[in-house]
């Protein structure tokens, strides 16, 4: 059983292999009509928008480590570029983080489990779990997904807006809200 299937089975109380955790009649992939429903069961979270990440100016907390955050209502995607020989030091934070490598190579330390990550590799970092990352001879482009949005990146976006004297509009632009 896949991780998603196992989690759904645990949540529903089902657990036997071959038992559909989504209930009778849901089929092997679940109920498509409920997945793609158009019935709004709550308030809209805002207005949708498009962002071209290439137009966002990267911000560096450390030399060689560029951040381009895109902010949603309850989540954040941060496009991160590592130059060769760059280290993101060991740290922890409250926000859950999912790291997705798009290109290049990155060594990732997830609470002592050190692995080389390449295109398509994903690391899931729960709240308060120590982690770090570094490149050696190659660059790396990766995406960090944070839920809720990473507070230090929100503060960075706000500080950049003040520097530009652009108020709220500058914050929106720096956080990828175009």
pLDDT in tens, 80-99: 999 999 999 999 999 999 99
pLDDT digits (tens, 9 = 90+) for 2-25: 555 544 544 444 444 445 555 555
pLDDT of residue 168: 46
Q: 24 and 57 share a domain?
A: no
Residue 41 lies in a domain: no
Q: Which two three-digit tokens encode residue 63?
A: 């030399």
Which three-class secondary structure state does DSSP give residue 2?
coil
For residue 13, the enclosing domain spans 3-35
Q: What per-residue confidence (pLDDT) applies to 178?
A: 39
Does the residue 106 lie in any domain? yes
What is the spatial distance between Cα 110 and Cα 133, in angstroms, rounded to a whole number?
A: 9
Q: Mean pLDDT by 10-residue block, N- to C-terminus, for the chain (178 residues)?
A: 50 47 57 82 88 92 93 93 98 97 98 98 98 97 96 80 59 46
* Predicted local distance difference test score (pLDDT) of residue 73: 87
Mark whether 121 and 57 lie in a shared domain: yes
3-state secondary structure of 87: strand
Output the pLDDT for position 2: 52
pLDDT of residue 27: 57
Q: How many residues does the chain have?
A: 178
pLDDT of amino acid 109 = 98
Number of domain units in the chain: 2
pLDDT at 111: 98
Q: How far apart are CA 165 and CA 122, in angstroms?
A: 38
Buried b (16+ CB within 10 A) or exposed e, 37-74: eeeeeeeeeeeeeebeeeebeebeeeeebbbbbbbbee
Q: Are 29 and 100 within one domain?
A: no
Cβ-Cβ contacts under 8 Å for 150 (sequence gap 6 or more): 69, 76, 78, 93, 95, 97, 144
Separation between Cα atoms, residue 31 and residue 23, nearest integer Å: 9
Tell me: do 73 and 10 sit in the same domain. no
**Res 177: pLDDT:** 46
Rounded distance, CA 20 to CA 25, Å? 9
Together in a domain, 21 and 103: no
The DSSP H or E segment spanning 100 is strand 96-110
């Amino acid at each position: 059983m896949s991780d998603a299937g196992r989690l759904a089975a645990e949540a529903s109380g089902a657990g036997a292999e071959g038992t559909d955790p989504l209930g009778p009649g849901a089929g092997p992939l679940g109920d498509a009509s409920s997945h793609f429903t158009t019935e709004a069961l709550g308030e809209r979270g805002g207005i949708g928008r498009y962002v071209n990440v290439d137009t966002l100016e990267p911000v560096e907390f450390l030399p060689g480590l560029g951040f381009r955050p895109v902010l949603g209502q309850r989540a954040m995607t941060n496009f991160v570029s590592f130059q060769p020989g760059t280290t993101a030091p060991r740290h922890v934070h409250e926000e859950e983080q999912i790291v997705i490598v798009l290109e290049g190579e990155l060594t990732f330390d997830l609470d002592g489990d050190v692995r080389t990550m390449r295109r398509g590799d994903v690391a899931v970092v729960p709240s308060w779990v120590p982690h770090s990352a570094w490149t050696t001879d190659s660059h790396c482009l990766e995406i960090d997904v944070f839920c809720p949005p990473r507070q230090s990146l929100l503060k960075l976006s706000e500080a950049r807006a003040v520097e530009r004297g652009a108020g709220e509009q500058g914050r929106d632009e720096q956080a990828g809200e175009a």
